[in-house]
Chain A
């Protein structure tokens, strides 16, 4: 089947089998920044925004993207880069494979909760697994980023 959708602000036409997942179609169409870590919606690596909401693209049919706005890490603008910088500054980048999904989720978190506590951060990100860092470095990076960017206006 063929649908029209918007990915990172660009209108795209996607062709795929009805049963294909969004992550598979996105990757096939050049969006290798969307990663796949499992087939059960358990790891958070494939997180993209659909109409601004963080969603698991492995647990979403590509067909659902019709007339929707999809955002990947390549489309979230400087916010993503500034958080990435903090990850790198902590050494919490490590293998990096979980990072884009992680960053997409953190930025969505901050849009929902203005001054999140560490507990709220852990809860919101509970579905974002990381096997390298032990999570502590990621939390440090988030707290530093929140502090640095607290004056900025958000969506």
Chain B
């Protein structure tokens, strides 16, 4: 039961924003936002279900996913199954069960910047952007580091194919590959650590989440590897090991009910090494 005075399901984003911006006690209702808003006193709950934001569209350079798209759809949609080795679907497939994922939305998962979010980790590694109603299109990376915003998340965009139209391109030493893994104590549980690695067009992105803080990129490790790639060299197992150590050293970890900081630090090194081996070899 939510402590909510009023429920509205507007038919336009403008209407949604008008209601939302009138009071700080108004909230946007996504999928399972229900579960997170328990004790809060809500003025008006604004449901986005009538805004036709449940879609996945393929554009020239990016895939666009509407904010009300269910997590389950990320697993079953044929467009998403065919890109990035299906890591978007893979990232959410261990969250509780199918019925839960038929309720939870991508907008809700991303807007909340949750530390434990598998999806945010995967999106970060894919250099995703988000579209905000007022703020426009910004990098997910920027959004995650920005102070709290009062806005409505409309869609998520994932860039695809930079090499289109590129002439005189040398064949890549490391084919495009993406990898997602999360360490969990038991199936369906909150992760102890999440990891997404994506190599797109010879540029590697490593995103680590559930630190327990929100996902962030291991920039130094990425720089180390990308510099080797720019020299047109194949990355060796030893270099993978080193990159994993750099990632583990550069990132900050904390302790919570699921595990202590040192353990996460150790896990990071192990999982990054395994992930890089899968992506680069």
Contacts and interface: CB of A to CB of B under 8 A. Distances in A.
A binds B: yes
A24 interface: yes
Contact of A59 (B9, B32, B93): B32
Contacts of B1: 17, 19-21, 24
Nearest to B187: A126
A17 B3 CA distance: 9
B34 A21 contact: yes
A88 to B, nearest CB: 23
Interface in B34-53: 34-35, 38, 42, 45, 47, 49
B55 interface: no
B99 A61 contact: no
Contacts of B7: 1, 18-19, 61, 63
A21 B2 CA distance: 8
B98 interface: yes
B166 interface: no
A34 B42 CA distance: 27
Interface in A30-81: 39-42, 44, 47, 53-56, 59-61, 63-64, 66
Nearest to B94: A126
Contacts of B76: 112
B100 A56 contact: yes
B49 A64 contact: yes
B106 to A, nearest CB: 16
- Interface range, B side: 20 to 34
A127 to B, nearest CB: 2
A97 interface: no
Interface residues of A, number: 33
A145 interface: no
B188 interface: yes
A41 B100 contact: yes
A21 B33 CA distance: 12
Interface string B1-12: 111111101000
Given A40-B35, A44-B97, A123-B93, A59 B103 contact: yes
Interface in A1-43: 1, 17-21, 24, 39-42
B54 to A, nearest CB: 11
B96 interface: yes
Given A19-B45, A24-B1, A55 B187 contact: no
Nearest to A24: B1
Contacts of A123: 93
Interface in B89-105: 93-94, 96-100, 102-103
Given A18-B6, A128-B97, A61 B102 contact: no
Contact of A60 (B38, B93, B97, B103): B103
A61 B47 contact: yes
Contacts of B222: none
B35 A59 contact: yes
Nearest to A1: B7
Contacts of B35: 39-41, 59
Contact of A18 (B5, B99, B102, B188): B5
Contacts of B6: 18
A124 B100 CA distance: 11
B42 A19 contact: yes
Contacts of B49: 64
Interface of B: 1-7, 9, 29, 31-32, 34-35, 38, 42, 45, 47, 49, 76, 93-94, 96-100, 102-103, 187-188
Given A55-B102, A64-B47, A126-B94, 12 more contacts: A1-B7, A18-B5, A19-B2, A20-B2, A41-B32, A56-B102, A59-B100, A61-B34, A66-B9, A124-B98, A125-B98, A126-B187
8 contacts: A21-B2, A39-B38, A55-B99, A59-B32, A59-B103, A123-B93, A126-B96, A126-B97
